[in-house]
Structure 1
Amino acid sequence: MSHDKRVRRFRRLWLTLGVVRLIAAGLWVGNSSALWGGGDGRPLLLAHRGIAQTFPLDGVENDTCTASRVHPPDHSYLENTLPSMRAAFAAGAGMLEVDVQVTADDQLAVFHDATLECRTDGTGRVRERTLAELRRLDLGYGYTADGGATYPLRGRGRGLLPTLEQVVAAFPERELLVDLKNDDPAEGGRLAAYLATLPAERLKTIGVYGGDASVAAVADRLPGIRATSKKIMKDCLVRYLATGWTGHVPAACRHTELHLPQRYGRLLWGWPNLFVDRMRAADTRVVLVAGEGPWSAGFDRPADLAEVPAGWSGWLWTNRVDAITP
């Protein structure tokens, strides 16, 4: 190769690298959270099941009884009960997440586990019991922090299991997020039938999430409701990764909710605060969850807040709103 050809090839290479640098700089400037993000430093708090007893996530599997491994209790609240929910809102929660299942007599019971043996003094599946049967159970029966030597919450949960209708009535102007625990279209249809009876203004304050099939059943009946599932979130994020560099928010990301750990968020255009601003403009809530493992964890201790991006103005997922608000 002649000297002149080598010079021309070298110049073309540098020109190409220069163009790439300019494009990269333009993408950075256009998607810089530091330059364009709001980030007023006022996170919103989503109280997961109200104020709950927490537990270590190490070694947790789908069938792990988490009530048998809670941290030593420093409060007496039981998740998914009205006292726990009232305490969460009083402590500063902006939204409440509750777990819902359909009972044998077609009621919308607020309870997490599909079976009763872990937390209560009952047996069998929630969907095999009537609401009256469930309300006779002690919801604090199975909680222990010392391998079963003591059960400090036993006897505190009898008669506390609420229905979704009771929760909605108890907090008439509050934001609620309903988690359909069973990915069953029939249960989604039952929830949709109840939600359809609510006034339009009240329905605006209620979101639904869960399995793909159950959430789809709700969205089909109530297309205007805020709904999310793994499929909905994946569709949104895949499309945003492809086009978000332009600032465009795809239709799949509008009027929904995104639950994201930081490890995923860091991949998104404009993360963190510009991304939150873009989604807020599209009427979508961004909820940051803690943890890097397979399970979503809450920001439950003051020390956990060190992991929150500076200036974060989206939502934070927490089981202990009372502990982190101060």
Structure 2
Amino acid sequence: MSRFWKCAGLLALLCAGFVFVNNTSLLVAKTAGRPLLLAHRGVSQQFDRTGLTGDTCTAARMLRPTHDYLENTIASMRASFAAGADIVEFDVHPTTDGLFAVFHDWTLDCRTDGKGVTREHAMTELRRLDIGYGYTADGGQTFPFRGKGIGLMPSLDEVLATFPDRSFLINIKSNDPTEGRLLAAALAQIDAAQRSRLMVYGGDAPIAMLRAALPDLKVMSRGMLKGCLLRYIGYGWTGLIPSACRNMLVLAPINVAPWLWGWPDRFLQRMARAGSSAFVIGSYHGESFSAGLDTPDDIARLPENFDGGVMTDEIETVAPLLKRAPRGDQVK
């Protein structure tokens, strides 16, 4: 009996040794690279996030402005890249005249002087709106951007034409499969090299349609991400990469990331081998995957010399913390 337990103990020790050696980052050669910075919402107006829901009008709870940029505009994107962003995220909605409007909200009532569902308008109508109309930091006493946002809502075509050599993450705001089909048709028309610099995330149905039409495009939906991470946590210790994790955008919440086998360097290497791009985001507590790493305390939670992807809503704050020298003009 004692021999049995000795053998069992030796086997357990060997297994533990295999798991350690197969997943430790200590044996991974470090590169001199810097984190890849994803500017969620670009350079934008921040807002009070207390009690935030999917229906909250964030423009009506804006914090005191420190700059003049509004999210999802050409100027905001340009400022994001100048601040050090490698990738900028923006939102799209199909329009009745066959284009895609770049705008955050499902409806127009919160931010603009328009009314109704965004996707039920033509791009020609949307261009005439004042997208700064509803922003207020004092409960509606003043509206510092009113009158300054007229004509600033761009189309997807305009963004891609303005920044042909830049990388973007596109957010589909619906779970409508038709939107995935329409976006696939639009992206199929652009140069393959430019398309390779794009990623898309959104609802399960449109993303499934988009992946079927453009299988080389990196995409992500909530269902895809859950399937990838749960499988990886289950058997990633073996070094095997779940097929669910291949060729996609992987968002790893900072409080979940340490549970990912091989975190950080082995995990990042494995995702890269699978053709996927991995980014650390803010802590997950059951809400949507939209919070970034935005403060010095958030950045301090990253592993030392981290060179993976980082998503942030505060690119102006985070880029200097991660020693990313701004390119082009400084953000003002």
TM-score by length of 1: 0.91
Are 2:78 and 1:104 equivalent residues in the alignment?
no
Tell me which of 34, 57, 65 is aligned to 1:73.
Answer: 65
Aligned CA distance change for structure 1 residues 234 and 37 (closer, same or farther; 3 Å): farther
Are 2:279 and 1:306 equivalent residues in the alignment?
no
Aligned residue for 1:137? Answer: 129
- What SS does the corresponding residue of 1:29 show, helix, strand or coil? helix
Distance in 2, Cα, partners of 1:17 & 1:60: 52
Are 2:158 and 1:166 equivalent residues in the alignment?
yes
Tell me which of 175, 180, 192 is aligned to 1:183.
Answer: 175
Tell me which of 37, 41, 50 is aligned to 2:42.
Answer: 50
- What SS does the corresponding residue of 1:26 show, helix, strand or coil? helix
Distance in 2, Cα, partners of 1:106 & 1:35: 52
- What SS does the corresponding residue of 1:266 show, helix, strand or coil? helix
- Deviations, residues 49-89 of structure 1 (Å, cap 9, x unaligned): 22111223331111111112222111110000000000001
Tell me which of 238, 243, 250 is aligned to 1:251.
Answer: 243
Distance in 2, Cα, partners of 1:149 & 1:253: 49
Aligned residue for 2:140? Answer: 148
Are 2:25 and 1:33 equivalent residues in the alignment?
yes
The one-letter code of the counterpart of 1:82 is I
Are 2:201 and 1:209 equivalent residues in the alignment?
yes
Distance in 2, Cα, partners of 1:180 & 1:150: 32
More displaced 10-residue stretch of structure 1: 125-134 or 15-24: 15-24
More displaced 10-residue stretch of structure 1: 83-92 or 38-47: 38-47
Aligned CA distance change for structure 1 residues 285 and 59 (closer, same or farther; 3 Å): same
Q: Is the 8 A contact 2:93 2:172 kept in 1?
A: yes
Stretches of structure 2 that go unaligned for 5 or more consecutive residues are: 321-332
Distance in 1, Cα, partners of 2:296 & 2:149: 28
The one-letter code of the counterpart of 2:45 is Q
Are 2:224 and 1:224 equivalent residues in the alignment?
no
Aligned CA distance change for structure 1 residues 245 and 40 (closer, same or farther; 3 Å): farther
Aligned residue for 2:186? Answer: 194
Give 1:250 shift.
2.8
- What SS does the corresponding residue of 1:316 show, helix, strand or coil? strand
Give 1:41 shift.
6.1
Give 1:198 shift.
1.3
Number of aligned residues: 318
- What SS does the corresponding residue of 2:34 show, helix, strand or coil? coil
Tell me which of 265, 271, 275 is aligned to 2:267.
Answer: 275
Give 1:157 shift.
1.1
Give 1:15 shift.
4.8
Q: Is the 8 A contact 2:256 2:284 kept in 1?
A: no
Give 1:134 shift.
1.2
Aligned residue for 1:90? Answer: 82
The one-letter code of the counterpart of 1:281 is R
Aligned CA distance change for structure 1 residues 41 and 311 (closer, same or farther; 3 Å): farther
| Root-mean-square deviation (Å) | 1.9
Tell me which of 296, 311, 316 is aligned to 1:322.
Answer: 316
TM-score by length of 2: 0.89
Q: Which has the larger radius of gyration?
A: 1
- Deviations, residues 220-243 of structure 1 (Å, cap 9, x unaligned): 211221111122222322332333
Give 1:48 shift.
1.3
The one-letter code of the counterpart of 1:321 is I
Give 1:204 shift.
1.0
Distance in 2, Cα, partners of 1:40 & 1:249: 25
Distance in 2, Cα, partners of 1:34 & 1:67: 46
Q: Is the 8 A contact 1:141 1:154 kept in 2?
A: yes
More displaced 10-residue stretch of structure 1: 138-147 or 291-300: 291-300
Distance in 2, Cα, partners of 1:92 & 1:126: 31
Aligned CA distance change for structure 1 residues 41 and 308 (closer, same or farther; 3 Å): farther
The one-letter code of the counterpart of 1:280 is A
- What SS does the corresponding residue of 1:35 show, helix, strand or coil? coil
Distance in 1, Cα, partners of 2:12 & 2:48: 46
